[in-house]
C-alpha cells in the first residue's frame, strides 16, 4: 500500500487523513459554458470525475464518500436539463456496477425518493442491493436531497413517536435526531469539499457538518481530479481540529 500512496500524502500520518469526505460538486454548467458547449456536456463530463474520485477514494481506503448529486432545489431547472440529469443517473447506476463491485464499494442513497422517475429508482435500488454485501467504502449519493427537508422529516418522525407514546420528550438528544436523519448509521463528514470557488453550503448536510473542515477549490467539478483530491486531504491533515476545546 505504501508504494501506491501519492507522493504528497506519504509523509502524512494515516490517522490524520479524513475518514469521511463529502463533496459539493459544483460548476458543471459553468465548465461547459466556458468552452461554448451545452450545459449538459458539463454534466456528462462531471460523471467522469465521479468515477475517478470514487475509485481513488476506494483505493486510498477512505471509509466514506458522500456526493451531492441532485439537490431538492434543482427541480427548478429547465425540464430538458432535469431529464438529462435523470438519464445520466440511470446510466451511471447501470454502467458503474462492475466498477463498484470491483472496488468493493457499498452504495447508499441519501434523500427523498419522491419525484425521481421509477426507472431511475429501479436501477438505483438494484445497484444498492448488489453492493450491500460489499465491505469497502460507503458511497453515499445525495439525490433529491435538502438538509432542511431532512430535518423536517426527522422532526416529523420523532413527533409521531411522541404521539404514539414510544418516545419521551426528555429522552430526545442529539443521537435521537441523528438516528432519524437520512444518514442514520453513517459517520459525520470530516472534510467538506466545494468546487467552482463557491463559498456556501447550499443546504447540504447542515446537521452532519457541524465540525467538518471546509476546503474550497476554484476548479469546476469536471476538472476535479485525483491530484486535487490529494491536495484536499493533505490540507486537511494540517488543520488543528479542536472541536470547541483546546489543543497544545
**Residue 113 belongs to a domain:** yes
CATH number at residue 44: 3.40.1180.10
d(CA 16, CA 1): 17
Q: In this predicted structure, what is the pLDDT of residue 25?
A: 97
**Residue 126 belongs to a domain:** yes
What total of structural domains would you count in the chain?
1
Q: In this predicted structure, what is the pLDDT of residue 121?
A: 97
Secondary structure in 3-state letters for the chain: CHHHCCHHHCCCCHHHCCCEEEEECCCHHHHHHHCCCCHHHHHHHHHHHHHHHHHHHHHCCCCEEEEEEEECCHHHCCHHHHHHHHHHHHHHHHHCHHHHHHCCCEEEEECCCCCCCHHHHHHHHHHHHHHCCCCCCEEEEEEEECHHHHHHHHHHHHHHHHHHCCCCHHHCCHHHHHCCCCCCCCCCCCEEEECCCCCCCCCCCCCCCCCCEEEECCCCHHHCCHHHHHHHHHHHHCCCCCCCCCCC
Q: In this predicted structure, what is the pLDDT of residue 1?
A: 52
Of the candidates 26, 28, 140, 144, the residue annotated as catalytic is: 26
**Residue 129 belongs to a domain:** yes
Q: In this predicted structure, what is the pLDDT of residue 183?
A: 97
Q: In this predicted structure, what is the pLDDT of residue 241?
A: 79
pTM of the model: 0.94
d(CA 39, CA 91): 18
**Residue 242 belongs to a domain:** no
Q: In this predicted structure, what is the pLDDT of residue 5?
A: 81
Q: In this predicted structure, what is the pLDDT of residue 38?
A: 94
26 catalytic, yes or no? Answer: yes
Residues of the domain holding 109? 18-146+188-237
How do residues 174-226 score in pLDDT, each as one tens digit?
A: 999 999 999 999 999 999 999 999 999 999 999 999 999 999 999 999 999 99
**Residue 120 belongs to a domain:** yes
**Residue 155 belongs to a domain:** no
**Residue 248 belongs to a domain:** no
Which residue numbers in the chain have pLDDT < 70? 1-3, 243-248
Of the candidates 3, 74, 140, 190, the residue annotated as catalytic is: 74
Residue 235: half-sphere exposure toward Cβ, Cα within 13 Å: 15
Q: In this predicted structure, what is the pLDDT of residue 8?
A: 82
Burial 147-158 (b: 16+ CB within 10 A, else e): bebbeeebeeeb
179 catalytic, yes or no? Answer: no
d(CA 24, CA 145): 12
**Residue 77 belongs to a domain:** yes
Q: In this predicted structure, what is the pLDDT of residue 98?
A: 95
Amino acid at each position: 500500500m505504501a508504494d501506491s500512496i501519492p507522493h504528497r500524502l506519504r509523509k502524512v500520518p494515516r490517522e490524520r487523513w479524513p475518514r469521511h469526505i463529502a463533496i459539493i460538486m459544483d460548476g458543471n454548467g459553468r465548465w461547459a459554458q466556458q468552452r461554448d458547449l451545452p450545459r449538459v456536456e458539463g454534466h456528462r463530463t462531471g460523471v467522469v470525475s465521479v468515477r475517478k474520485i470514487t475509485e481513488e477514494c476506494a483505493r486510498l481506503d477512505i471509509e466514506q464518500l458522500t456526493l451531492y448529486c441532485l439537490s431538492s432545489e434543482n427541480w427548478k431547472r429547465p425540464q430538458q436539463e432535469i431529464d438529462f440529469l435523470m438519464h445520466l443517473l440511470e446510466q451511471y447506476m447501470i454502467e458503474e456496477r462492475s466498477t463498484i463491485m470491483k472496488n468493493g464499494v457499498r452504495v447508499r442513497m441519501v434523500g427523498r425518493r419522491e419525484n425521481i422517475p421509477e426507472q431511475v429508482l429501479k436501477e438505483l435500488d438494484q445497484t444498492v442491493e448488489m453492493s450491500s454485501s460489499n465491505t469497502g467504502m460507503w458511497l453515499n449519493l445525495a439525490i433529491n436531497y435538502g438538509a432542511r427537508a431532512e430535518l423536517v422529516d426527522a422532526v416529523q418522525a420523532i413527533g409521531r413517536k411522541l404521539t404514539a407514546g414510544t418516545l419521551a420528550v426528555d429522552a430526545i438528544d442529539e443521537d435521537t435526531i441523528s438516528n432519524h436523519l437520512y444518514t442514520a448509521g453513517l459517520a459525520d463528514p470530516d472534510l467538506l469539499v466545494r468546487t467552482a470557488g463557491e463559498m456556501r453550503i447550499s443546504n447540504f448536510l447542515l446537521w452532519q457538518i457541524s465540525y467538518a473542515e471546509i476546503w474550497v477549490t476554484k476548479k469546476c467539478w469536471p476538472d476535479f481530479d485525483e491530484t486535487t483530491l490529494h491536495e484536499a486531504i493533505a490540507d486537511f491533515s494540517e488543520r488543528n481540529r479542536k472541536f470547541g476545546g483546546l489543543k497544545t
